[in-house]
Amino acid sequence: MARRTKIYEGKAKILYEGPEPGTIVQFFKDDATAFNAQKKDVIEGKGVLNNRLSEYFMVGLQNIGIPTHFLKRLNMREQLVRSCEIVPLEVIVRNYAAGSLCTRLGVEEGTQLPRPIVEYCYKDDALGDPLVTEEHIAAFGWASQQEMDDILSLALRVNDYLSGVMYGVGIRLVDFKIEIGRVFEGDYQRLVVADEISPDSCRLWDLETGRKLDKDVFRRDLGNLTDAYSEVAKRLGILQNNATSIKPTVVN
Ligand code: TMP
């Protein structure tokens, strides 16, 4: 069997060279980390769920004209994506106060924000992904002004899409993080939504009960993480409703 070339191993995914130039295989691990990997565990089935959920959201975005790096799902744990140069920013959109917004500003968790708030963090694990302003981004050349305009508009479109999809299945999109990639096509370069969109990178609360259906379950020891992610997958029709295990019952 031919050995694949590993390009990069992150906390939750491994990237391998794809079968054709310009493609990458993205493998979803079961590893869960929080607080910059100070808390770690292996949650059986998480990678399978996130692979499928991220596919669902990326395809949905593409269907409404928002470009992403996603090409196709290959198997239970892997998807083929376009290789791109990742803009070194975590782009966060918040609709309700939670997480670091609450600790930073003393706002009560769950407070509805008067409008979506977009934040940028500089992607650097050694620094703990610090919050930065557009001034830092421009000064250090992490993205151009034109790219920042495009990133803001992409982030807000993704927010509208994801909020609507989740609301339709009784879930509140509290906040999420996306990453943006530069794709080169001849003389042109364009921006796409990259990395993953999954309950690892969103806060999702049940609209009626407020139950957390995202990685906060792991961060705060609130119960079984795969149960929470499976609930999201079931509501979206990705997992059959009577599924007790994700292994044999993932639809398609
Ligand atoms: P925060 O409230 O901890 O800043 O997180 C905001 C959103 O970003 C939340 O949906 C979780 C997501 N997120 C990631 O995807 N990766 C991370 O490393 C962190 C800290 C947050």
Q: Which band of pLDDT confidence, cut at 50, 70 and 90, is reported for residue 248? A: very low
pLDDT (tens digit, 9 = 90+) per residue, 143-169?
A: 999 999 999 999 999 999 999 999 999
Please tell me whether residues 117 and 142 are part of one structural domain.
yes
Asked if residue 139 is part of any domain, the answer here is: yes
Mean pLDDT of 70-77: 98
Q: Are 86 and 72 in contact (CB under 8 A)?
A: no
* Pairwise CA distance, residues 6 & 16, whole Å: 4
* Pairwise CA distance, residues 178 & 108, whole Å: 24
* Pairwise CA distance, residues 62 & 72, whole Å: 12
Indicate if the pLDDT at residue 251 is higher than 70: no
Quote the percentage of the chain above a pLDDT of 70. 96
Domain boundary among 46, 64, 84: 84
Domain boundary among 31, 65, 84: 84
The chain-wide mean pLDDT, for the chain, equals: 95
Asked if residue 237 is part of any domain, the answer here is: no
Indicate if ligand 1 lies below 6 Å from the C-beta of 203: yes
Which ligand 1 atom sits nearest the alpha carbon of residue 201?
A: 15
pLDDT at 250: 55
Please tell me whether residues 90 and 77 are part of one structural domain.
no
Q: Are 169 and 93 in contact (CB under 8 A)?
A: no
pLDDT at 241: 80
Single pTM value for the model: 0.95
Indicate if the pLDDT at residue 67 is higher than 60: yes
Q: What is the extent of the structural domain holding 11?
A: 6-84
pLDDT (tens digit, 9 = 90+) per residue, 181-214?
A: 999 988 999 999 999 999 999 999 999 999 999 9
Please tell me whether residues 104 and 185 are part of one structural domain.
yes
* Pairwise CA distance, residues 79 & 53, whole Å: 11
Asked if residue 247 is part of any domain, the answer here is: no
Indicate if ligand 1 lies below 6 Å from the C-beta of 250: no
Please tell me whether residues 43 and 146 are part of one structural domain.
no
Quote the radius of gyration of the chain (alpha carbons, Å): 18
Indicate if ligand 1 lies below 6 Å from the C-beta of 93: no
Please tell me whether residues 198 and 96 are part of one structural domain.
yes
Q: Are 214 and 203 in contact (CB under 8 A)?
A: yes
Q: Where are the alpha helices (DSSP H) in 106-240?
A: 134-139, 145-168, 216-219, 225-235
CB atoms closer than 10 angstroms to residue 151:
21
Closest by Cα among 207, 213, 250 to 228: 213
Mean pLDDT of 26-31: 98
Q: Are 204 and 171 in contact (CB under 8 A)?
A: yes
Q: Are 177 and 91 in contact (CB under 8 A)?
A: yes
Q: Are 38 and 231 in contact (CB under 8 A)?
A: no
Please tell me whether residues 90 and 202 are part of one structural domain.
yes
Indicate if ligand 1 lies below 6 Å from the C-beta of 192: no
pLDDT at 3: 82
Please tell me whether residues 75 and 94 are part of one structural domain.
no
pLDDT at 173: 99
Mean pLDDT of 81-97: 98
Burial group, residue 25, by CB count within 10 angstroms (0-12, 13-18, 19+): buried
Please tell me whether residues 14 and 96 are part of one structural domain.
no
Indicate if ligand 1 lies below 6 Å from the C-beta of 119: no
CATH number, position 60: 3.30.200.20
Please tell me whether residues 101 and 189 are part of one structural domain.
yes
Which ligand 1 atom sits nearest the alpha carbon of residue 215?
A: 11
Of 36, 57, 92, the one to substitute when testing ligand 1's pocket (max ligand atoms within 8 A of C-beta) is: 92
Tally of domains in the chain? 2
Please tell me whether residues 75 and 106 are part of one structural domain.
no
Please tell me whether residues 44 and 143 are part of one structural domain.
no
